[in-house]
Amino acid sequence: MAVRILLLTGWLLLPVAGLAYHMGPGQEQKALDVVAKHVRAAEAAAADDDYTEAVEEYAAAIKALPEGRTAEARKLRLEKAKAQMLAKQLPEAHADLKVLVEELTADAGADPKLVAAARAAAANSEYYATWLMRLEGAGRDEWEPEVESARQTYKLLAEEAEKRGDASAAAKFKEDLEAAVRLERMELSELQGLNLPKQCKGCCNCKGRKAAKKGPKPPKQNDIRSAGGAPPVDDSGH
C-alpha cells in the first residue's frame, strides 16, 4: 500500500514538476534558443555583407538574452559593434566599444581574450574616427587624443602578444601601430587623396561638421595600407 501511495503521489506531482521546469530552466533554454537563432541570422547577414541586418539581429539577440548572462552579453555587444563599423554606424560603434572596454577592464574575472578583442576593436574605431574627424576639419586638439589612444592600445596588444609567444598577432598589432602613427603624421592633403575606408563611408560625421575643403590631390592610392596598413574591423589577433 505504501509503495502504491508513493507511486500515485509521484504521478500526481509530475505535472507540477513539468510546470516548474517550464517556468524556470525551461524558460531560460527557450530564451537561449531564440538568442542562438538571432546570432545565426546575424552571422548569415554578415556573410552576405548585409551589416545593417547583422546589427539588428545582434541587437535582438542581446535583448533576448536571459538576465545574468553577462559574459555572453559582452561578446554579443562586441560582435554588434564590429558590424556597426561596417554598417555606416561608426560613431555608435565607437561609443559602445568605449563603454564595453571600460566594463571589461574593471572586471578582474573577464576573459582575457575578450578583453583583448574589445580593445582591438575599440582602437580600430578610434583610428577610423580620427580619419573622419580630420576630413571634417576638426582641430588637432580634438582628433589627436583618438589616434593617440589607438596607438597606445596597439602597442599594448603587441606587447601582450609577444609575451604569450603569439608572433603573428604581435606582428599584426605592430603594423596597426605603424598605421596609426602614419595617420597622425600625414598631411591633410595626403589624407584627402586616399580612398575613404568602407568603415567610414556613409557615416554621419563625428562632430556635425562638413568635410574640410579639399586642396590639390596627390597621386591616387587605394588607402593608407600603401604605407603598411589600416587595421581591419576584426583585429583581435587571435
Q: What is the model's pTM? A: 0.77
Q: Where exactly are the structural domains of the chain? A: 23-67, 87-238
**Distance between first and last Cα of the chain:** 65
Query: CA-CA distance, 84 to 200, in Å (whole number)?
Result: 11
Grid coordinates in use for 173?
Answer: 598589432
Q: What is the pLDDT of residues 23-74, one digit of tens each?
A: 555 778 899 999 999 999 999 999 999 999 999 999 999 999 999 999 999 9
Q: In this structure, are residues 209 and 183 in contact, taking their beta carbons and an 8 Å threshold?
A: no
The pLDDT tens digits for 185-205 are 999 999 999 888 777 766 655
